[in-house]
Structure 1
């Protein structure tokens, strides 16, 4: 474990500050990490929706990644939005070359507003090229269904029924997020090769849900170098996520689904 984890977000942007690379940088900082970033796409979005997506040229992405890797020993990477297969191949090649200690993959497909961010080809590339490199993949229920080509689970039993297929994706761990279920609690299922563990938290009544997936996955990345085991890091990240939602209404930001409160422990 390191005193100050050095963390890298590989993701798209959010000029409104609640999701993507911007949420990752806030989360890294709030949880005691040193934040670095490499942008995959410029995304014109806010709490109401996505307006435009501009994938960066591969040369620009590779130059950013090499600038970070050549100078800073990265303890954990969080991968978010990957717009196409070429981007996935670039990220895979550099991860294999530089071998960071931990890789967290959030298979971003659709924004909270419902706007689609990537096409089916990008989803297949992420599944084939990046999932096997990850210590943990963090799909919500629609994302897991898309990765597997199945129906969206509508119950805890249906989530459990996905376990073997999710193990087949070849990530070390999968955190199947159950926020889309209509339960009074928010239950996520942590899946490893041998075990499953339910992680429970109260469901928070708030409209401030923008960037929740980005925030949880980046919290896991920030906490992995600070905990002895991956499950311990995931449990701590879920506590941070819950507190960020509980305090989100204090922000009052945006006309749509506002952001969570990343700095709830500091402000």
Structure 2
């Protein structure tokens, strides 16, 4: 039996809603074989902040080779990388492995307000990983930071930002507009054409892990041989379903519910 193989390089979120945990849940629900490289242990939640504990470059490299050499990689996604050194080493590993599909989620700030990418690492992310990426998936806040804009408030603003980000080297740009005034609209740009992905806006604060899951779902689709458009369609439906059935736990910001995909039946809910 063969199965598409997807690797996530990201932080481990102790509370289970985001990071490596969200990625592996997404992989399982979308029927791909998930593997992980843990860059850091994140022990934050919405009621307390214990800190971020980074892994050594040696440990990161060992995890990568354990996955690549023993299983193989059809697609890869990156999440929280945190430091310049980790970003640079991750880029080197991706080049060596010649991974066919690379999804870069430029994680900067967590739902709990934690800084998940050091300020001095942003340029390194742009210079070393963006040119290797099949697609980058910034949300509006990240797109603003990456482009230097003061605001992105409309779909036209998103398209303009996508054009600027495309110049940085990715094959595709996907800007996520979940907080856009016009509704939950995402914009995909390939250097020529734009594609809009629209779903209902769900009135909830319980969206922890949504961005991680979105990029993991895109990587899953690409590993299965889907086109970029079809991979994003499925990922958008998957995340929307998870937010619609989010878990609150009655404290702080709750989690996207990955298991809801089985209830939604793979359709836009």
TM-score (norm 1): 0.94
1:149-199 CA-partner distances (Å, limit 9, x unpaired): 22231222221222321111110001001112233x300000111111111
Give SS of 1:8's match. strand
Unaligned runs of 5+ in 1: none
Partner of 1:226: 224
In the TM superposition, residue 48 of structure 1 has moved relative to its aligned partner by: 4.1
Partner of 2:85: 86
Structure number with greater CO (CA < 8 Å, separation at least 6) is 1
Structure 1 residues 48 and 7, CA, compared in 2 at 3 Å: closer, same or farther? farther
Number of paired residues? 263
Once the two structures are overlaid, the 10-residue window that deviates more, 142-151 or 70-79, is 142-151
**Which aligned pairs between 1:5-16 and structure 2 lie closer than 5 A?**
5-16=4-15
Q: Does 1:144 align with 2:143?
A: yes
**Which aligned pairs between 1:6-155 and structure 2 lie closer than 5 A?**
6-48=5-47, 50-155=49-154
Structure 1 residues 48 and 180, CA, compared in 2 at 3 Å: closer, same or farther? farther
Q: Does 1:213 align with 2:239?
A: no
Match of 2:256 among 241, 256, 260: 260
Once the two structures are overlaid, the 10-residue window that deviates more, 37-46 or 114-123, is 114-123
Structure 1 residues 52 and 170, CA, compared in 2 at 3 Å: closer, same or farther? same
Unaligned runs of 5+ in 2: 264-269
Aligned residues: CA RMSD: 1.6
In the TM superposition, residue 254 of structure 1 has moved relative to its aligned partner by: 5.5
* Matches of 2:10 and 2:52, distance apart in 1: 12
Contact preservation (8 Å) 2:6, 2:223: no
Contact preservation (8 Å) 1:49, 1:113: no
* Matches of 1:254 and 1:266, distance apart in 2: 24
Contact preservation (8 Å) 1:204, 1:245: yes
Contact preservation (8 Å) 2:10, 2:40: yes
* Matches of 1:220 and 1:188, distance apart in 2: 13
